[in-house]
Amino acid sequence: MPSILSISGVSKTYATGFTALKEVNLDIERGEIFALLGPNGAGKTTLISIVCGIVNRSSGTVTVDGHDINRDYRAARSLIGLVPQELTIDAFESVWATVNYSRGLFGKPANPAFVEKVLRDLSLWDKKDAKAITLSGGMKRRLMIAKALSHEPRVLFLDEPTAGVDVELRQDMWAMVRRLREDGVTIILTTHYIEEAEAMADRVGVINRGEIILVENKAELMHKLGRKRLVMELRSPLTAIPDTFSRYALELSPDGGQLTYTYDNQAERPGVASLIRDLEAGGIQFRDIDTQNSSLEEIFVNLVRREQ
Ligand SMILES: Nc1ncnc2c1ncn2[C@@H]1O[C@H](COP(=O)(O)OP(=O)(O)OP(=O)(O)O)[C@@H](O)[C@H]1O
């Protein structure tokens, strides 16, 4: 079956002359949850905005379920729901009116039963008459999602759905997104959080400086990115790593006072215990030891470095 969303050779240069996207190619499969990961300014919002017709692309084509977003804009756009980063709701409008109004904007006939289902699914039904201003932060986010679903889209974009929300709300959001997928909605979310991609996505794309540098299914990506580091503060600095340790991927800090061992998270504990034994046997003593997970920032740096 053809992809539900097909992005081909899309570039964007803003009026300032800044190129935010470079020849992006991406196909989203029907019914998947796709996480687009990238650091600030990578181009995630620009890409989503192009697909949603908010920003004009400089080149390339985008089709949604076969509809070209230029030639067939209304058909393409009506298949898409967008939950932007910022809240865009009228503070003094009720939940019910907000969602119905949004549906009307897409030219869809009133369907109170459908709107009720959306509100119930998002645990907003008992708030249907409440004004948006009276809702908690979490409810406002859910209202944004209800709005985006009001016209029965087949593809839902969630731009940073859990930025700045607490852990509990984040979990609720994840559960809700999974339910939507069960209903057949294809979901594309952008995030800074590796955990979010890990918890939710079937596939993950990494965008950096306007380029998609990797698209992979989650299991493989987590295998690649799930790295840990063991950092050892040495009692006495070394001038070089002795040859006997060449089987371990060790790095020595420039001052010789710190040894770092990076290993794959997924593999069977790869030799941390034997490394420590070997260090002791080799007379290398350390006064402190610490484990760290590699941060997303480092993962990007590594990915980008590998690219160059
Ligand atoms: N209207 C604009 N004019 C000029 N440059 C812009 C415009 N909008 C965005 N940019 C630039 O394009 C780049 C990509 O921005 P974009 O918002 O797409 O990134 P992002 O990956 O969504 O980042 P964030 O996670 O911070 O939202 C940034 O460097 C940004 O400054």
Mean pLDDT throughout 9-25?
Answer: 96
Predicted confidence (pLDDT) per residue in 213-255, tens digit: 889 888 777 666 667 778 899 999 999 998 888 888 889 999 9
Residue 42, ligand 1, Cβ within 6 A? yes
What's the CA dihedral at 170, 172, 173, 178 to 10 degrees?
Answer: 130
**270 and 218 assigned to the same domain:** no
Predicted confidence (pLDDT) per residue in 138-175, tens digit: 889 889 999 999 999 999 999 988 776 777 778 878 88
Residue 308, ligand 1, Cβ within 6 A? no
**39 and 73 assigned to the same domain:** yes
Within a domain: 306: no
What is the whole-number distance in angstroms between the Cα of residue 210 and the centre of ligand 1?
9
Q: What percent of the chain has pLDDT over 90?
A: 53
pLDDT at 82: 94
Residue 41, ligand 1, Cβ within 6 A? yes
Within a domain: 232: yes
Q: What percent of the chain has pLDDT over 70?
A: 90
**219 and 259 assigned to the same domain:** no
Which residue's CA lies nearest to atom 18 of ligand 1? 43
Q: Are 165 and 194 in contact (CB under 8 A)?
A: no
Within a domain: 255: yes
Alpha-carbon gap, residue 285 to 152, rounded angstroms: 63
pLDDT at 258: 94
Residue 99: domain span? 5-223
Alpha-carbon gap, residue 33 to 80, rounded angstroms: 14
**212 and 278 assigned to the same domain:** no
Which residue's CA lies nearest to atom 6 of ligand 1? 14
The verdict on pTM exceeding 0.95 is no
* Chosen domain end from 223, 247, 263: 223
Alpha-carbon gap, residue 277 to 244, rounded angstroms: 13
What is the whole-number distance in angstroms between the Cα of residue 173 and the centre of ligand 1?
25
Mean pLDDT throughout 198-209?
Answer: 88
pLDDT at 110: 93
Which residue's CA lies nearest to atom 3 of ligand 1? 14
Total tally of structural domains belonging to the chain: 2
pLDDT at 191: 83
* Chosen domain end from 203, 223, 243: 223
Instruction: Choose the residue to mutate in 45, 57, 193 for probing ligand 1, maximizing ligand atoms within 8 Å of C-beta.
Output: 45
**122 and 43 assigned to the same domain:** yes
**193 and 54 assigned to the same domain:** yes
* Chosen domain end from 223, 243, 268: 223
CATH code at position 198: 3.40.50.300
Predicted confidence (pLDDT) per residue in 49-62, tens digit: 999 999 999 999 99
Within a domain: 174: yes
Position with higher pLDDT, 229 vs 129: 129
Within a domain: 303: no
CA distances in angstroms from 75 to 55, 79, 92, 134, 269, listed in the order given: 17, 7, 31, 35, 52
Atom of ligand 1 nearest to the CA of 207: 21
Instruction: Choose the residue to mutate in 13, 14, 296 for probing ligand 1, maximizing ligand atoms within 8 Å of C-beta.
Output: 14
Within a domain: 302: no
Nearest one of 204, 282, 268 to 236, comparing CA atoms: 282
Residue 251: strand pairing partners: 260
**279 and 195 assigned to the same domain:** no
Q: What is the mean pLDDT of the chain?
A: 87
**145 and 72 assigned to the same domain:** yes
**233 and 216 assigned to the same domain:** no
